[in-house]
Every structure is written in C-alpha cells, then in structure tokens.
Structure 1
Amino acid sequence: MQTIENINNTIKENMAVMVYFSAPSCNVCHALKPKLLDALNANFPDFKVESVDISQSEEIAPHFNVFAIPTILIYLDGKEFFRKSRNMSVDEVIREIRRPYEIMTS
C-alpha cells in the first residue's frame, strides 16, 4: 500500500518521477495509464513511476492537492515540474517533459 512517505522518498531519491493518481472506477485512467507508461519508457528511461489508487489511499491525493482523476504529477530533481488532470494527451505530456529531461540527463 502506498504512503505519503513512500512517494516523498521516491521523489527525493530519483531524478525524474511521475505520480499517477487513479481509481478503479475511472475508465479514462485505465485507458491512459498504459499509453503513458509506454511513452515514458520509450522516451525517458530514467523515469520512476508511482501509482496511487485514491480509493485505497484516501489521504494521499489531498496531501498532493489532487482532487480529480486521472492526475499526473511530474517531478524533476525533487521539484514539481508539471501537473495535469482529466483531459490530457500522451503527446502533450511527452512534449512538456522532453526539453527539461534532456537538459538534466545530458
């Protein structure tokens, strides 16, 4: 089971982290997640992904100011860099991450 402490440790210990908030009842969440994971793996091999099921870990989403699903939070070098909720495309997410990620890994 996920905890706020586990997620914060992942963010601290890894250069690039995506935290993915979803719930079992969210069809969009289930359709989007594999596409996002495939795109991250193909473009950014150093990304670490944490998945949060808000139905199991109810205190985590409010801690990160997440009030809609799906929501992704992108952390680069321990700082929140990008946040997107509900309507998002995989291409949009990849586009937002590419330049800062390449600068950090070059």
Structure 2
Amino acid sequence: MSVVNISNQTEFSSIINTDKPVLVDFWAAWCGPCKMVAPEIEAVAQAYDGKAVIAKVNIDEQGELAGQYNVMSIPTVLVFKNGQEVTRLVGYRPRKEFSDALDKVL
C-alpha cells in the first residue's frame, strides 16, 4: 500500500476512524525537514502494509485541518487509534520512531 494523500475533512475523518492504526504526516512542499521525512514515511508505509494506514496532509491545501489538530510546526506526525490521537512527533524523526509509535498501538 502506498501513502494516502488526504484532500478533505471527510476523507480524513473516514481514514482515522478505521480499525487499523493511522499515521498522518502534516507537511508542506516548501518545508526542508518535510522533504527529509518523506522517504522515512514511505518506508514505514511499505513496512506496515496491511497493518496500518499511512497518510499525508498538505497543510497549504488543508490549513483548516492542520488548525483543527493544532499543528503549529511541520513536519508533525500524528498517530491515531480508533479515531483518537495517541502520539505526536514534531520535526524530523528517523523511521524507527514512527515504527515504534505504530507498534505501541498495534
């Protein structure tokens, strides 16, 4: 499974309210650290194929959604379980931190 690009609030709500853990990367095209995190997120998507949903939200296109989740700096990665935020990682993080966050809710 590849990374899901979320394009609206309805899509976001339906994705985070699935029975699988969901990792969401809030990012922007102009953000240097976001570009560094992107391949880490892709690797996590490959490793957790079928076990978790990996998604991205472009804050320039979905500013309201970023505001709703108090995303103040990017990249911000949120992990959801049953629609509830359980982990928040801000700034560049290595792949292992994303994997560890998902493993805690699997």
Give the TM-score taking structure 1 as reference length: 0.81
The total of aligned residue pairs comes to 101
Residue 82 (structure 1) aligned with residue 87 (structure 2): yes
Residue 50 (structure 1) aligned with residue 91 (structure 2): no
Q: What's the C-alpha RMSD, in Å, of the aligned pairs?
A: 1.9
Q: Cα deviations across residues 31-70 of structure 1 (Å, max 9, x unaligned)?
A: 2122222134214532212211111222110011111100
CA contact (8 A) 1:14 1:48 kept: no
Residue 97 (structure 1) aligned with residue 99 (structure 2): no
> Structure 1: which 4+ aligned runs deviate by more than 6 Å?
none
Report the counterpart of residue 24 of structure 2 in structure 1.
Answer: 19
Report the counterpart of residue 66 of structure 2 in structure 1.
Answer: 61
* Structure number, greater radius of gyration: 1
Q: Cα deviations across residues 56-105 of structure 1 (Å, max 9, x unaligned)?
A: 2221100111111001111123221111111422212212321431xxxx
Identity over aligned pairs, percent: 23
Give the TM-score taking structure 2 as reference length: 0.81
SS at match of 2:34: helix
Q: Distance in 2 between matches of 1:85 and 1:16?
A: 18
Q: Distance in 2 between matches of 1:43 and 1:12?
A: 18
User: Unpaired runs of 5+ in structure 2?
Assistant: 1-5
Q: Distance in 2 between matches of 1:45 and 1:76?
A: 15
Greater percentage in helix: 1
